[in-house]
Chain A
Amino acid sequence: MDTPTLTAFILYLVILMSIGTFFYLRTRNLSDYILGGRGLNPWVTALSAGASDMSGWLLLGLPGAMYAGGMNNIWIAVGLSLGAYLNWQFVAKRLRNYTEKANDAITLPDYLENRFNDTTRVLRVISAVVILVFFTIYVSSGLVGGAILFEKTFGMNYQVALWVGALVIMLYTFLGGFMAVSLTDFIQGTLMFIALLVVPFIVVQVVGNWEAAVAKVGRIDSSHLDAFSGMTVLGIVSLMAWGLGYFGQPHILARFMAVRSSQDVPKAQMVGMTWMVLGLFGAMFTGFFGIAYFANAPLENSETVFIALTQALFNPWIAGVLLAAILAAIMSTVDSQLLVCSSAIAEDFYKQILRRDAPQQELVWIGRIAVIVLALLAASLASDPESKVLDLVAYAWGGFGAAFGPVVILSLFWRRMTRNGTLVGMVVGALTVIVWKNLSGGIFEVYEILPGFILCAVCALAGLALVFSVTGKILQ
Chain B
Amino acid sequence: MTISQVSFGTHEPVLDVKNLTVKYIGDTRSTTAVDRVSFSIGTGEVFGLAGESGCGKSTIANSIMRLLKDPAKIAGGSISFGGKDVLAMSPEELRRFRWQDVAMVFQSAMNSLNPVLTIGEQIMDIFTTHAGFSRKESLRRAGELLELVRIDPARLKSYPHQLSGGMRQRAVIAMAVALKPSLLILDEPTTALDVVVQQEIMAQIKELQRELGFSVLFITHDMSLMVELSHRMAVMYGGRIVETAKAQDVYANPIHPYTQALMGAFPPLTGPRVPLTGLPDGVKFRNIPDLAEAAPGHFVAPFEPDARVVDSENLEGAAR
Do A and B come together as binding partners? Answer: no
Which residues of B line the A interface, CB within 8 A? none
Which residues of A line the B interface, CB within 8 A? none
